[in-house]
Each structure stands twice: as C-alpha cells, then as structure tokens.
Amino acid sequence: MLSKVQQLGRSTISVLERLGRGFLFFIQLIAALPNVVTRAPLLVQQLYSIGVLSFLIIFVSGLFVGMVLGLQGYYTLIDFGAEESLGVMVSLSLVRELGPVVTALLFAGRAGSALTAEIGLMKATEQLSGMEMMAVDPIKRIVAPRFWAGVISMPLLAAIFSAIGVVGGYIVGVGLLGIDAGAFWSQMQSKVDLTEDILNGVIKSIVFGVVVSWIAVYEGYDAIPTSEGVSRATTRTVVHSALAVLALDFMLTALMFGE
C-alpha cells in the first residue's frame, strides 16, 4: 500500500516537474521572439517547411470535409424544407469548429510530429549540444523559429481549410444536388458574422497553433536522446496535441458562444 502511495507521489512530482519545465521553456520561446524577427530568413524557411508543405493535406481534407458536410446537411435540411440554408450550415460549421479543430489535428499529425522528430534527432545526434558548445543558443537558433512558424501557419491553414470546405459544400449542394446558388451564398453572407463567427474561429486557431507548436517543439527538445525516446516523443506530440485541442475547443466554445 505504502509503495503504491510512494509511486503515485513520484509520478505526480514527475508530471509537475515536466509541466514546470515546459512552462519555463514556453517563456523562453516567447522571449526569443525579437531574435526570430531580426533573423527573418530562418523564420521564412520554417514557414515553408511547416506551413507551405502542409497546404496539400489541408486543401484535400478541407475539400472532402466540406463535401461531406454538404451531403449530410442537405439530407437533414431537406426534411424541413430548409435545404437552401445549406450554405449557412456548412460555413458556420467550418469557421466556428471544423476549420480550426481539424486543421489543428492534421497539423499535429503532419507538421507537429515532424518538428518533434527533427528536434529530437538533432538532440540524439548531439547537434544541439554542438551548437551550445559553439556558443549558439539552440532555443533561439533552432526551436523558436519553428515554434513561431507553427503559430503563424495555423490560422492561415485553418482559413484555407474553411474556404476550401465552403467550396466543397458548394460543389455538392449546388453542383450535384441542385440547390440555388444565389440562396447558398446570400444566406451565408447574411448569417455569418465577422466578429461572432469568423474572428472567434481565428482566435481558436491561434490558440491551437500556440499549443500544438509548443507541445511539438518541447517534446522534441525534452526527448530521451535515443531512437526509442524520439519515437515515444513523436507519439506523445500527436496524442497530447489532439487531446489538448479537443479540450481547449470545448472551453473556448463555451466561453465564446455560451450565453
């Protein structure tokens, strides 16, 4: 019994220690922002590999999610004779929820795992130690540009996801199922609010960008420098990011759209 209590205490202390280290690491990333700004080429390089190279998966996923929403929405709304509201349904679902959330989940799987593996392998092959010994701070030189590139990329990718999703809904609703194009767009225009819906969606995607990028770079930097350690860290990035995004989404939705 006593040993179980001890084990529980040890695990709790270990989790709290890790959280504390993660928080201090986060402060270092924020403090490194001026350095990232003054060394823009490093940021641009990371924007390309984290943001631009994620474009294809976001584009294709957004299109299919929009098409599925169009199809499911049509079959539901037609029972109430409200199929012309399909544009509103698709666009609100995307900008409020699916755009930020699905983009964050895809981002964690595609870019987050790559970030963790890259930084973890740099640690395992002593590249980070080598930099420290060359008097170059790896957090400023390697980690911070990747973190900030993730933070910047996420809202842009979420916006692309939502926009392509609306096009997907349009293709299915108007192109295949024969809804009036004028009603599709005009109802969307009148019902989707800039601050209430779009801005809140953007805020969500920024929060998800910060959290997913932070988890990804921290897991890489804190990884045990072995192949198994890096593999575990990569898995943790995807699992922790997904859980954090879904939990935060609930909290943010309650805050933003609750009465």
Partner 1 sequence: MSKQNSTTPLIEIRGLTFSRGERVIFDDIDMDIARGEVTTIMGPSGTGKTTLLRLIGGQLRPDSGSIRVDGEEVTTLSRRALYQLRKRMGMLFQSGALLTDMTVYENVAFPLREHTKLSPSMIRNLVLMKLEAVGLRGARELMPSELSGGMARRVAMARAIALDPMMIMYDEPFTGQDPISMGVLVSLIRKLNSALGLSSIVVSHDVAEATEIADHVYLISNGKVVEHGTPEQLNNSTSPWVKQFLKGEPDGPVPFHFEAGDYLDDLLEGPADAK
Residues that bind partner 1 (CB under 8 A): 122, 125-127, 129-137, 141
What does the DSSP 8-state code read for residue 175?
I
Helix (H) or strand (E) holding 217: helix 200-221
Q: Choose between 129 and 235: whose C-beta lies nearer to partner 1.
A: 129
Question: Closest approach of Cβ 173 to partner 1, in Å?
Answer: 45
Question: Closest approach of Cβ 133 to partner 1, in Å?
Answer: 4
Q: Choose between 11 and 125: whose C-beta lies nearer to partner 1.
A: 125
Residue 112: left (phi > 0), alpha (psi -120 to 50), or beta?
A: alpha
Question: Closest approach of Cβ 144 to partner 1, in Å?
Answer: 15
CA dihedral sign of residues 237, 239, 242, 244: negative
Question: Closest approach of Cβ 234 to partner 1, in Å?
Answer: 18
Q: Choose between 109 and 225: whose C-beta lies nearer to partner 1.
A: 225
For residues 208 and 248, is the Cβ–Cβ distance under 8 A? yes
Query: Over 90-112, what HEC string results?
Result: HHHHHHHHHHHHHHHHHHHHHHH
Q: Choose between 131 and 171: whose C-beta lies nearer to partner 1.
A: 131
Question: Closest approach of Cβ 129 to partner 1, in Å?
Answer: 7
Residue 255, C-beta contacts closer than 8 angstroms, at least 6 positions apart: none
Q: Choose between 40 and 247: whose C-beta lies nearer to partner 1.
A: 40
